[in-house]
Amino acid sequence: MKESTVQKKKRRLIFRSAMLAVMVGLIIFALVSNLNDDKNVVAEGEQAPDFELKKFGTDETVSLSDLEGQGVMINFWATYCEPCKEEMPYMEEIYSKYKDKDVEILAINLDATDLVVRRFLDRYGLSFPILHDKNGQVMDQYNVGRIPSTLFINPDGEVEEQVVGPLTLEKLDGYLEEITPET
């Protein structure tokens, strides 16, 4: 009978140690996440830094300076980001409406491998430009921490609004309306 009590104590000790390790891990994760939350993208009212990236799957490049005079939405995303997956159909739904109003949507992908991005694009059938920031240079230039992160740039090239986190269709429509050039 003593051995079963010893076995129970041993199992309890292992269980408690495992739970403690999980809790410590969660605390470390929370602290690191909060530190990254303080890392904001380019501030509102600032001039958006110029960049040049290739359109995914082509040799064609797009630079922000090529879109001068237009409203531009820049969305930083990755295939492993669940909120990013939820936003993509909203962007696709609204793209043609704002493209006709001189507003461009640029979705900058942060994945390292082409294959997962290709599968994602095939699945969602996206028509707006998908740019590939394989090395993270634009992500660093814009000081992006969490994804999805979205910047709305007015026709003068200034950051009008920045949103860290997912967008609803209604919010997306409102932000895009704000950066639509006056006709």
Asked whether the whole model's pTM tops 0.85, one would answer no
Distance CA 141, CA 159 (A): 14
| pLDDT, the chain, mean | 88
Q: Where are the domains of the chain?
A: 1-38, 52-178
CATH tag for 52-178 (out of 3.30.420.40, 3.30.9.10, 3.30.390.50, 3.40.30.10): 3.40.30.10
Q: Which of 45, 34, 63, 62 is nearest to 151 (CA)?
A: 45
What residues contact residue 45 under an 8 Å CB cut-off, 6+ apart?
158, 159
151 touches 162 (CB < 8 A): yes
Task: List pLDDT tens digits, range 56-78.
Answer: 888 999 999 999 999 999 999 99
Looking at residue 179, what is its pLDDT? 95
Q: Poorest-confidence range of 9-23, 70-84, 151-165?
A: 9-23
pLDDT bin (cut points 50, 70, 90) of residue 38 is very low
132 touches 53 (CB < 8 A): yes
Task: List pLDDT tens digits, range 103-162.
Answer: 999 999 998 888 889 999 889 899 999 999 988 899 999 989 899 999 999 999 999 999
